[in-house]
Amino acid sequence: MKILVADDISLLGLEKLQSIPDMEVVVRTGMSESEVMQAISNADALLVRSQTKVTERVLSAAKSLQVIGRAGVGVDNIDVLSATRRGVVVINAPDGNTIAAAEHTLAMMLGMSRLIPQAFQSIQSGAWDRKSFVGVELYGKTLAVVGMGHIGAEVAKRAKAFGMRVIGFDPFLSEERARLLGITRATLDEAVSEADFITVHTPLTKETHHLLGKAQFAAMKKGVRVINCARGGIVDEVALAEGLESGRVAGAALDVYETEPFALDHPLRHFKNVIFTPHLGASTVEAQVNVAISVAEEVANVLQGKPFQNAINLPSLSAEQKAYLQPFLTLGERLGSFLGQAVPGSLEDLEITYGGDLADQDVSFIARTVLKGLLGQRHGDEVNYVNAPFLAKAAGLEVREVKQPKSRVYTNLLTVGVTSGKTRHTVSGTLYNGSGPRIVEVDDYLIDAQPEGAMIFTRHQDRPGMIGRIGMILGEADINIASMQVGRKETGGEAVMLLTVDKPVPESAIEKVQTLSGIFAVHRIEL
């Protein structure tokens, strides 16, 4: 079997593959797209980091490709959907750089607090200036960790060793897990308003883009310090610059940026109390070796037909399984994704109910797709079909599966329910012959909608003119409504509405809808 290595990957990882009989490892880095297409034509596996772009065009040239291995976490450079359609498994290494990223965060926090880079530059220039570099201590300060996944938890542990009080925000952080970590669970508003230091450790999704924006910076205490070693775009750089200019923000440490490489004329470069590194969070010898070995072992397992752990997309199914289950796997992931976007608060449990003929089948994998959709809204690339149950358990999310052989109306019915606070939310879907998956019920309100594309979901009071006013707001934003579904139980009571639109709705339009009298909640949904 031929394994093409298209980016610089640790030799220790490649040695794992080279030691396996009948595997030929070909290393060709720095190729253009056309060169990659030529080299991949007879490859069984492809190993990349972030440089090589694995596009639809590249994949179309691969005749025998079985697996793509990404030596790292993010898969932004891989067309995962196209790979999935072609039956190519995409593997990543989600845990190999956890310690490196956590340690870099602490290094940036210390460097910023004690002005170490600035003092170094001063000495290099020939000065001996001690008065200009009076720092602050970490001891006794409050650190807000926004995103309590693997890296956030490791940062919290290390910060506690410095004597810091740690508060954590994460929609899936349970009281039990917070207690075990020795931290205090908080809302985002509480975290940003109480903290002396704020560090972010979430993936970059539409929910976390500008998670620390103008409103959050306005709520921060004077003298706060902000660290971003996660993903560029989580921190609104314009809002950060304004906070630094006003003096509310006393310092910042950035390893990642909204646009990379970091622009020479970026306004943040003008502040002497900001330190920068060029996306070095995973750049340790150990991390590079760990991700290389991890991804090499996983690729070898796929090629040898052995079990594998870190699949980003759906592992191969038998022809018989795929024929029956594939539509339900898609439906399950979209129902989970729907709830993940429509229920923004913390989640306490998940219940999946298989009704009708579906209850007689082996549905063990459907739960994974539901979890992938649900958790993917908040964990991004970190979650896949294999590790979704593990992440749910780590977050304290109780998962129950129920089979009901008799369905009220439908031949098959898949229902997903979650509890947020004291409120129960459910969404149900089925498969119609000839028209594919449909959402047929939301919170016991009957509707009939195709679960795909851009949508708006509202909970509102059923009153005359409500639909028209929402339509006018969307029209003013140049948003065309493709379909509309309204569900209600009684005239004048609470109702739900699901609008399918031709393109994503801007936040400004959502804010206008929220201001309408009688609107209880409005959410953007993308499936």
> Which residues, in sequence order, are bridge partners of residue 274?
252
Quote the CA–CA distance of 8 and 23 in Å, as a whole number. Answer: 19
β pairing state of 445-449 and 436-442 = antiparallel
Quote the CA–CA distance of 295 and 354 in Å, as a whole number. Answer: 35
Quote the CA–CA distance of 313 and 86 in Å, as a whole number. Answer: 11
* Number of C-beta neighbours around residue 103 at 10 A: 18
335-348: b or e for each residue (b if 16 or more CB lie within 10 Å)? bbbbbbbbbeebbb
Instruction: Point out the catalytic residue in the list 70, 150, 225, 231.
Output: 231
Quote the CA–CA distance of 86 and 80 in Å, as a whole number. Answer: 10
CA pseudo-torsion sign 133, 143, 108, 377: negative
157-186: b or e for each residue (b if 16 or more CB lie within 10 Å)? ebbeebebbbbbbbbbbbeebbeebebbbb
CA pseudo-torsion sign 461, 468, 523, 448: positive
β pairing state of 412-420 and 349-356 = antiparallel
292-324: b or e for each residue (b if 16 or more CB lie within 10 Å)? bbbbbbbbbbbbeeeebbbbbbbeeeeeeeeee
* Coil/strand/helix, residue 38: helix
Locate tokens 């993903």: which residue?
Answer: 231
**Dihedral, 497, 502, 505, 510 alpha carbons, nearest 10:** -30
| Helix (DSSP H) and strand (DSSP E) numbers for the chain | 17, 22
Q: How many CA atoms lie within 13 A of 147 on its CB side?
A: 30
- Say if CB 370 and CB 352 are below 8 A apart: yes
Instruction: Point out the catalytic residue in the list 260, 286, 507, 511.
Output: 260
Instruction: Point out the catalytic residue in the list 150, 185, 279, 460.
Output: 279
* Coil/strand/helix, residue 385: coil
Query: Is 279 annotated as catalytic?
Result: yes
* Coil/strand/helix, residue 93: coil
**Active site residues per annotation:** 231, 260, 279
